[in-house]
Amino acid sequence: MAGNTLVPLLFPILEAVVTQRLRLKKNADRRLKAGHLWLYSNEIDITETPLKSFEPGAQAIIEAASGRAMGVAYVNPNSLICARVVSRDTDVMLGRSLLVHRFKQALSLRERLFARPFYRLVHGEGDLLPGLVVDRFDDVVVVQLNTLGMEKVRDEIIDALNKVLSPRVIVLRGDTAGRRLEQLDEHVEIVQGSLEGAVALEENGVRFETDVVGGQKTGWFFDHRDNRAWFNTQVAGKRVLDVFSYVGGWGVQAAVSGASEVVCVDESTPALERVMDNAALNGVEDRVSTLEGDAFKALAQLKAQGEVFDAIVLDPPAFIRKRKDIAAGERAYGRLNREAIRLLGRDGLLMSASCSMHLASDRLVDIVRGAARHQDRHAQLIYQGHQAGDHPIHPSIPETAYLKAMGVRIFRD
């Protein structure tokens, strides 16, 4: 009897929370029907539902032009992407219960894919939680709240993580580009537990330590896990150059996989110090060295010194952050690949990567082809990769398929 009396009481509570409605223009519901989660400000019927009437971060029921309810989204009237869908059920808002459910769904996938608890647990839209990123380092989790809508449920996110994972430490990395776009303050905070020094992780059987508080992004880049695994099979006995090495994700794994020598290039002193720590952690410090400086200058310096490598990794930051940067970014990728190819021996391997979502895969192929021909070399594409399974691609949102990696044999006749 008690259960029966509770059920009708729940819905008035939910309806009382999500009462505002956001109506779309005619035919603007097509992408949502296809599974997309974003709404743009020019798709809103502002006569019926003025965007300026919404408190930034508030949740609303999305309606088609006909008035048919299509789901729940959080709204930011000050952003080009003015709403992001969190549920197709209009009775389910973004809160602790939904977060627990989504976290359990995400965890189920990761436990299917990986034997060890080191992975991206939540990958934003790919896990139906737009604006939220959670990386897991065993009992330490690092959280990025990239949108105002997610910032509004910060406490519920922490509660849900404790419900699903019971982590010892929770770190909030509020220093992201997404937060700047949403006009949110930037800060880094340990909101649960305490940390002293680096955090341990394991990838492809290789041990690492990294700084999840002061390092890049969340401290590690799990997305290249599978691409590194393939590269590791190609480097035994080879001399390897790892450009934009950060803390040695590619280079140290190459050394452990039998590379005869690895040179890691980065402009960050702390990152290169961590490279050597990670090399020592795996007993390969005698085959790993570092070169500090700007990547382009370092490549020119190595060429001037007559250095030659058997395999080179190019894993740069995003040269194209916005569509207006495409032309300049493609030129930068072209120059980078040309300079790297100059350092390859007669029959070498180039691993060329891009994390720019605005750079299409076929354009990266064309850039590497052009770079090889510029040096009068032949190119054979022998591997094409993308982000690992803990960075799931939402099939309706092309922007979630951002990572490209190409293994290319570069050789002379």
| Non-local CB neighbours of 366 within 8 Å, separated by 6+ positions | none
Catalytic residue among 355, 364, 367, 408: 355
CB 351 within 8 A of CB 313: yes
The edge-to-edge listing of strands for the beta sheet with 132-137 is 118-123, 132-137, 140-145, 169-174, 187-192
Cα dihedral value 320, 324, 326, 331, nearest 10: -90
- φ and ψ at residue 214, rounded to 5 degrees: -110, -5
Structure tokens at 399: 């922007």
If we measure between CA atoms, which residue out of 170, 210, 173 comes closest to residue 188? 173
Cβ burial, residue 126 (10 Å; 0-12/13-18/19+): buried
Give the three-state DSSP class for 89: coil
CA–CA distance, 56 with 101 (Å, rounded to integer) = 25
If we measure between CA atoms, which residue out of 226, 252, 218 comes closest to residue 137? 218
Start-to-end Cα distance in the chain: 83
What is the chain's Cα-based Rg?
24
131: left (phi over 0), alpha (psi -120 to 50) or beta: left
CA–CA distance, 146 with 176 (Å, rounded to integer) = 7
State the maximum Cα–Cα separation within the chain, in Å, rounded to a whole number. Answer: 83
Structure tokens at 106: 């995400």
Q: Residue 404: count other Cβ atoms within 10 Å of its Cβ.
A: 23
Q: Which residue has the tokens 């490598």?
A: 309
| Non-local CB neighbours of 178 within 8 Å, separated by 6+ positions | 131, 144, 146, 147
Q: Distance of CA 395 to CAs 35, 108, 222, 398, 405, Å?
A: 8, 19, 20, 7, 19
355 a catalytic residue: yes
As annotated, the active-site residues are 355
